[in-house]
Amino acid sequence: MAESYLLEMRDLEKEFPGVKALNKANLLLRKGTVHALMGENGAGKSTLMKCLFGIYEKDAGSIKIEGQETHFNNPKDALDHGVAMVHQELNQVLRRSVMENMWLGKFPGKGGFVDHKKMYQDTLNVFKRLEVNIDPKQIIGDLSVSQRQMVEIAKAVSYNAKILVLDEPTSSLTNEEVEHLFKIINKLRADGVGIIYISHKMEEILRISDDVTIMRDGQWVSTTPAKDLTTEQIINMMVGREMSDRFPPKTNKPGKVLMKVEGLTGKYMPTCIDVSFELREGEVLGVAGLVGSRRTELLETIFGVAHREKGKITLQGKEVYNHNSMEAIKNGFALLTEERRATGIIPLQSITFNAVISNLKAYRNKIGLLINKKMEDDTNWVIKSMNVKTPSTKTHIKSLSGGNQQKVIIGRWLLTKPTVLLLDEPTRGIDVGAKYEIYQLIDQLAAEGKGVMVVSSEMPELIGICDRILVMSNGHMAGILDVKEDLKGGMQEEIMRLAAKYI
C-alpha cells in the first residue's frame, strides 16, 4: 500500500552546460517528520531545493505536494503555498528592525500603508509560540547569529509553512542554542509540519531526523529511517568509498615552545580578557567555546586586526606586537577568517589573484611591477599541494565549491611562509571529503613544525585533530585540556563544563 506523502519529488533531472547536476533524484517527505537530506557539497542538494522553489526549471521529473503536481515560479510563490526555506547565509536587511525583516514581502495593513501595531503584535505571537525572546523592534544587525537564525525560522513559521527547509541551521549555533532549535523543530513536527533538514553534522542528524535521504553526484543513493543508521554508514554512502575514520592519523610531534601569550586583553568590547597560553612547535591547539565566547576575538587580537589593550606575545623568544595585518604577516602570522564568503575570497577574481594577494611583495621585480610567471608558479603549487579541483588558474574562485575555495585561501596563507597559523572555523560549510583533506593539511603543517590554532564549533573535530584544546568562556580562558586517545568519550562533557565557567 502506498503511503501518502506531503512532498514527493521523483526522478528529477537538471542539466547545466557540461554538468548533470541532478540525475534521477528523489525525495519523499512524510507529514510531521524531519527528513535529513545529506550529501557532499556538489551532490545536488541545493540544486534539488532550487528546483523545488522554482529558482531553477527542472528538465524532467515530477514534484507533488499532497498528491498534487505542483510548479512554483519563484520562492515567493512557494512561500504563498506554505513551502519555506531558511538559508544558511541569512538573507536579512541588517539595518532594519526584527519585525520588518519578518514581514518583509507581506507587511500587514491596507492600501499600501503598514499597520505597525499589528506587525508588532503578530511578531510577538509567533515568538511566543516558538518561545523565542527577542524584541521585535530591535535592529536585526545588532542580534547574534543564532538570534537572527531564530528570526528566520519564525519568519517561515509566520507563513504557516507546511513544508520547511532548513539549510545548515546549526552551523553557527552553540550546543545550547541547538537544543532550543531542536525544541522548535519538535514543536513544528508535532504540528504536522514536514521538515527537510540539510546538514553535515552527523550527530545532530541521527538525533533529530526520522528519515535520511542521501545523495551523491546528483543521484539518489538511499532513504533510510534514521534509527537504522550509524555515522560510518552515512559517510560511506555519501562518499561512496570506505572511510574507516573521519580523521586522518596524527603524525605531528609537538616540540619546544613557539609562541607565548601572556595576559592578552583586547581594547574594545566584546573581546578576550587576560588570556595566557603557550603554543608549541608542531602543535595543533584547538580553541573551543560557545558562540559569543570570543574565540574569534582572541585570534583577531593575536593577529592585530583587533586592538590590544594589554598583554604580551612572544614568538620564538622575541616579543612581537602586531598593530595591523601587515605587521602580523611580516612577523609570521596567518589568519584564516571565519566568514569565507565575506572576508576570505574575492569572488569575481581568478584563483591566481586569490592565491597570491597576501604575498604580492614577493613577486615584484626591480621597478616594482609584478612578475606573472612567479605568481602563476606559486598558484600551481597551491593547486597541486592543496589538491584544489579547478579547471584552470584563471577560473573565478566564486565558481569553485566551498571546500576548494577554502583550500585556495589556506594556500594563500602558506605562500606567506607563516610560523603560526590561526584558523577560524576552517571546515565550516565544507563537505566530508574536503574536510578530511583539510584535516590532513593541518596535520601536515604541524608535522612541518608550524604552530596551528584551530577554532571550531564542532567538538568531535577538535578532539579528532588537536593535541590540546583551549576552552574559552565569555572572553576568559577557562582552561586547557590535553587530548588523550582513551579519554575521548568524556572530553566533550569536560569542554562543556569549562565553556560555561564564566557565564
- Report the nearest approach of other proteins to the CB of residue 193 (Å): 20
Q: Which residues on adjacent β-strands are paired with residue 260?
A: 278, 314
Give the C-alpha separation, 332 to 171, whole Å.
Answer: 30
Number of residues that bind other proteins (CB under 8 A): 32
Q: Of the two residues 91 and 372, which places its CB atom closer to other proteins in the complex?
A: 91
Q: Is 305 in the site for other proteins (CB under 8 A)?
A: yes
Residue number with CB closer to other proteins (148 or 340): 148
User: Is residue 105 near other proteins by the rule CB under 8 A?
Assistant: yes
- Sheet containing 308-315: order of strands: 275-280, 257-266, 308-315, 318-320
> Which residues within the stretch 281-300 sit at the binding site for other proteins (CB under 8 A)?
300
Between CA 247 and CA 456 the distance in angstroms is 15
Q: Does 348 bind other proteins (CB under 8 A)?
A: no
- Rounded to a whole number of angstroms, the minimum distance from the CB of residue 59 to other proteins is 23
Whether the CB-CB separation of 152 and 173 falls below 8 Å is answered with: no
Cα torsion through 418, 419, 420, 421, rounded to 10: 40
307 binds other proteins (CB under 8 A): yes
Binders of other proteins in range 241-280 (CB under 8 A) = 266-268, 271
CB of 113 to other proteins, least distance (A): 5
3-state secondary structure of 162: coil
Binding mask 153-172 for other proteins (x = CB under 8 A): --x-----------------
Bridge partners, residue 383, by sequence: none
Q: What are phi and psi of 279, to 5 degrees?
A: -120, 130
Out of 22, 41, 46, 100, point to the residue binding other proteins (CB under 8 A): 100
- The neighbour count for residue 61, using CB atoms within 10 Å, is 17
> Which residue, chain included where needed, has cell 550546543?
175
Pick the piece of the chain touching other proteins (CB under 8 A) from 110-118, 121-129, 198-206, 390-398.
110-118
Q: Which is nearer to other proteins, 283 or 338 (CB)?
A: 338
CA atoms within 13 A on the CB side of 422: 21
Does 322 bind other proteins (CB under 8 A)? Our answer is no
Q: Which stretch binds other proteins (CB under 8 A): 60-68, 104-112, 243-251, 315-323?
A: 104-112
Taking alpha carbons only, the member of 453, 186, 165, 148 closest to residue 291 is: 148
Pick the binder of other proteins from 2, 17, 18, 113 (CB under 8 A).
113
- Taking Cα atoms as reference points, which of 264, 274, 344, 340 lies closest to residue 301? 264
From the CB of 180, what's the least distance to other proteins, in Å?
A: 23
Distance in Å, CB of 117 to other proteins, minimum: 12
Based on CB atoms, which residue is closest to other proteins, 67 or 105? 105
The three-class DSSP label of residue 303 is helix
326 binds other proteins (CB under 8 A): no
* Element spanning 110, H or E: none
Window 62-81: contact mask with other proteins (x via CB under 8 A): ------------xxx--xx-
Binding track over 20-59 against other proteins, x by CB under 8 A: ----------------------------------------
Cell of 351: 584563483
Binding of other proteins by 94 (CB under 8 A): yes
Closest distance of CB 136 from other proteins, Å: 14
Alpha-carbon distances of 164 from 173, 201, 406, 435, rounded to whole Å: 19, 19, 29, 28
Q: Which of 4, 73, 91, 160 binds other proteins (CB under 8 A)?
A: 91
137 binds other proteins (CB under 8 A): no
The minimum distance between CB 53 and other proteins, in angstroms, equals 9
| 114/360 with CB nearer other proteins | 114
Task: Scan for cell 589593550, then name that residue.
Answer: 309
3-state per-residue secondary structure call for 202-269:
HHHHHHHCCEEEEEECCEEEEEEEHHHCCHHHHHHHHHCCCCCCCCCCCCCCCCCEEEEEEEEEECCC
Which spans of this chain sit near other proteins (rule: CB under 8 A)?
74-76, 79-80, 87, 91-96, 100-101, 104-107, 109, 112-114, 116, 155, 266-268, 271, 300, 305-307
